[in-house]
Amino acid sequence: MSETFLKRHDRPGPRDAEAAGLRWLAAAGGVAVCPVLAVRDDGLLLRRVEGVPPTAADAEAFGRDLARTHAAGADRFGAPPPDLAGDGWIAALPLPMTTTSTRWSEFFAEHRLRPHLRAARDAGHLTAADAEVVDAVCERLLAGDLPGEPSAPARLHGDLWSGNVLWSSDGAVLIDPAAHGGHPETDLAMLALFGLPHLDRVLAAHAEAASLAPGWRRRVPLHQLHPLLVHTVLFGGGYAGQAVRAARETLAL
């Protein structure tokens, strides 16, 4: 079996954003990432990761390493990897990076939630009433009326669902980031959205290493709201209902 893998990209923007994100995350010295061997016109040449079943010890090491990645920080909320010009991508959708927000809550409302909220509403995936529920979360964020405001931006993977965590004989390896400066709870909430082996061990190890703010588990729906809106834009269906439920749970904080 070849030791390399060509991930094809038909557009340079997502290709370059992924390569820059992998390099930036690798520089943090935390979780291992899939090495970029070459950036080609037809995609990224990556080192192949041979998968193995993860152990509880692997999961705990992943949680601690992820805390170190987050602690490497970023210049600002919404900051892209330093060698990426312009905006990033999450799945097939643009991810705004040209932000100037000094508060995470403002950044999250204006540059993560509202762009995809508008797209989901315009596509007919959210009713006007449902969109109002999500926008009420944005208003509370802008007012500084929700708990958990971080003091500084963390270095995020940004699309940390279970499919982007590979398990090798040496532990967790990350792929396919939407890397930017944000809130560490965002990565943790994304891990919980679609499930992950030994998730409780990952979260406990991260919380111990990073001293997460009290109540972080109750804020999971807030941080899941962005990926749920992304999925609503892309796929519609039941994701719209999940997004609205997450918004209602957030409004109850």
Report the catalytic residues. 159
Evaluate whether 46 touches 35 at the Cβ level (below 8 Å): yes
State both tokens at 124: 């007919």
Handedness of CA 148, 113, 223, 51 (dihedral sign): negative
Residue the block writes with tokens 């009433």: 129
Helix (H, G, I), strand (E, B) or coil at 238: helix
Residue 164: DSSP 8-state: G
Q: Residue 151: CB partners within 8 Å, gap ≥ 6?
A: none
